[in-house]
Chain A
Amino acid sequence: MAQYFLEQARVADFVAHLLASNTVYAPHRKGSRSYAFAKADDPAAVVLDYPRTLSSVKKFFLPPREVLLNFDLTLDAASVPPVEPGNAVFLGVHSYDLAAVRRLDFNFTTGNPERNYLARRDGARFIGVSYVPDKFHFAGSVGIDPYDMTGCDMFLTKHADGWIVDIPTGEGSELAAGFKLEAHDEPKPPRAHFTQHVFVPQARLGKVMEASYDHPVWNETADACLGCGTCNLVCPTCYCFNVQENVDIACTSGQRERSWDGCMLRGFTEVAGGEFFREKVAARQRHRVYRKFKYISDVTGQPWCVGCGRCTASCTAKISIVEIVNRLIRDSERDESILT
């Protein structure tokens, strides 16, 4: 496949080229040292070389808050608001976030396909970028290479003072059409190493988890955990939501709105009458980790964690999912060696 080269100095020109005929979402600086995907407006404000964004591109397909129904209380009638169409270009996406989008695709298309998600996801084109793993990334351990361009229409690999450009799809060629890119035939630079690793493959992780249901790590983690739900809310594969009713002040109309929810939050399993089905923080921590490495994984054979490191990087209590999983691996292997 032909490769091209995009000098860093021309990145803004390339963004301007994309903007001429597309809606583009790309990473921008946010706060003092963070990054967030936002609608590109000023090409010079787009940042391609970044460690991770606060939220993933999930927020464009499953928005943090979304009106599901508008209702009219005088007529006792409800209608579904139109979903704004997708058809956007997502520039500067890391391979793990695209892997997460594929997992969300699975969740929203199997069983009962969901129109809201599908409409937003429709026509999305992705321009991936490589990244240098920092102290939180461990995507390599869950089989997602920093150069993996699965699902990408274009892919930019950092090299010297610019980016090596791959264009694996026709949509990618259309996006690049009219923008002059020099051919490039040197091989890609070697990948930077991950410093964080989970030490067994998914195939064995299911067994490790199975042996770890009563492991002390859950209670120990619960002592440190503030139960704030941040780990769920920043996770690119978490998709649970809550639904609440908003009534306009005149009490004649309102909206049924969903918003991101998290299994780490105390009220998540509460039913009418006040019964909680996962009341202890320890049980909630276990559920969170099992949702990433066991429950859906047992069915699909894939970890539902993409190794982005957001849950660990964002945890004020510095609870590390890698440390939890590695401890479970270590202890279950030790137990096994005692048994055999």
Chain B
Amino acid sequence: MAKPRVAIFDFTGCEGCELSQLNFEDQLLDILAQVDIVEWREAMDDKADEYDIAFVEGALSTPDCIKRIHDIRRRTKVLVALGACAVDGGVNAIKNLHPIEEVRATVYGQDQYLFPTLPALPLSAVVKVDYNVRGCPMTQAEFLRVFTSLVMGKQFEEPDLAVCVECKLNENECVYERGMICLGPVTRAGCNSHCTNFGQYCIGCRGLVSEPNLKGMNEVLTSHGLAVDEAWKRLQLYNAYRLQGVRA
């Protein structure tokens, strides 16, 4: 069987997810042994016309992005969104909370007319996305799960559990017990509760679970004497796109 042809692309983002692909030091050779990477700007010069799998990082935030993602979708059999920006719009979507002309003027000043900009969109708002690798940067273990699934020819089933599940499996003390805001109860697991394992709170980088009880979350914050406003700002860090029109 021919090796799958893989291409890697980036849109608006920090390229941290691509960097974490290069950081698979122990597994990189095993990964490369199973695929042919035919296009990857961050690591090579070649370009290809067609691919079996496209890994795409970053959010869509300019008219040119929209054209390019349609082009990638036409050329690839499978499209995988890599990281919070590609999956949920990520940090970029914070700008959607403000009028777009105001954003443009603030960022580009008098040169604003040289830089057309759009409210930030996740890839799935424009094209069909087959699989998500969530997280900021993307969760490496999840990338490997998606990767092995693709090689094995099976669908990857995305977890739809709260981070609390993994946090309990790891027997961590609840962050709320320490009087801090934690977004774990409404955030999608799959990171093995990485941050709370190290004593941090969850910042929600993997996006919301499919049916978050946000009203209930507000009650939780209030009953713990925590600031609902502050928590919502943190929720919007990665979920501004999904929460458009939803109020605290």
Q: Which residues does A use to contact B, with CB under 8 Å?
A: 30-34, 36, 54-55, 59, 64-65, 223-230, 233-234, 246-251, 259-260, 262, 265-267, 281, 314, 316-318
Contact = CB atoms under 8 A, between A and B. Distances in A.
Given A33-B177, A259-B169, A318-B223, A227 B27 contact: no
27 contacts: A31-B172, A31-B199, A32-B173, A32-B178, A33-B173, A33-B177, A34-B173, A54-B168, A55-B171, A64-B171, A65-B169, A226-B212, A226-B217, A227-B213, A229-B165, A230-B168, A249-B144, A251-B148, A251-B152, A260-B169, A265-B161, A266-B160, A266-B211, A267-B161, A316-B164, A316-B185, A317-B219
A317 B168 contact: no
Interface stretch (B29-37, B83-91, B106-114): B29-37
A59 B149 CA distance: 30
Nearest to B28: A249
Contacts of A265: 161, 165
A316 B220 contact: yes
Nearest to A247: B148
B169 A228 contact: no
Contacts of B151: 251
Given A33-B177, A251-B34, A317-B219, 18 more contacts: A32-B173, A34-B173, A34-B177, A59-B171, A224-B219, A226-B186, A226-B216, A228-B185, A229-B162, A233-B164, A233-B165, A249-B144, A250-B34, A251-B152, A259-B169, A266-B210, A267-B160, A316-B176
A30 B165 contact: no
A33 B31 CA distance: 43
Contacts of A251: 34, 148, 151-152
Given A228-B162, A316-B185, A64 B177 contact: no
A158 B228 CA distance: 43
A32 B176 CA distance: 11
B216 A224 contact: yes
A33 B186 CA distance: 24
Most A CB contacts (10 A, CB to CB) among B31, B160, B168, B224 go to B168
Most B CB contacts (10 A, CB to CB) among A227, A248, A259 go to A227
Nearest to A265: B161
A317 B220 contact: yes
B31 A233 contact: no
Nearest to A267: B160
B247 interface: no
B150 to A, nearest CB: 10
Interface in B1-57: 27, 30-31, 33-34
A226 B145 CA distance: 27
A226 B213 contact: yes
Main secondary structure of the interface of A (DSSP, over half): loop
Contacts of B212: 226
Interface of B: 27, 30-31, 33-34, 144-145, 147-149, 151-152, 160-162, 164-165, 168-174, 176-178, 184-186, 199, 209-213, 215-217, 219-220, 223-224
Given A230-B164, A249-B30, A265-B165, A32 B177 contact: yes
Nearest to A248: B148
A324 to B, nearest CB: 16
A226 B34 contact: no
A266 B213 CA distance: 12
Contacts of A59: 171
B148 A223 contact: no
A225 B173 contact: no
A59 B168 CA distance: 11
Given A233-B168, A247-B148, A54 B220 contact: no
A246 B215 CA distance: 36
A234 B168 contact: yes
A55 B212 CA distance: 25
B173 A250 contact: no
Contacts of A318: 223
Contact of B33 (A32, A228, A246, A250): A250
Contacts of B149: 247
Nearest to A59: B171
A17 B67 CA distance: 73
Nearest to A314: B174
A227 B148 CA distance: 30
B102 to A, nearest CB: 35
Nearest to A63: B169
Contacts of B148: 247-249, 251
Contact of B147 (A33, A223, A226, A249): A249
Contacts of B224: 316
Contacts of A260: 168-169
B162 A226 contact: yes
B27 A249 contact: yes
Given A32-B173, A316-B220, A227 B33 contact: no
Nearest to B161: A265
B218 to A, nearest CB: 11
A30 B171 contact: yes
A64 B172 contact: no
What 8 A-B pairs are tightest by C-beta distance, nearest first? A31-B173, A233-B168, A228-B164, A228-B162, A34-B173, A64-B169, A247-B148, A226-B185
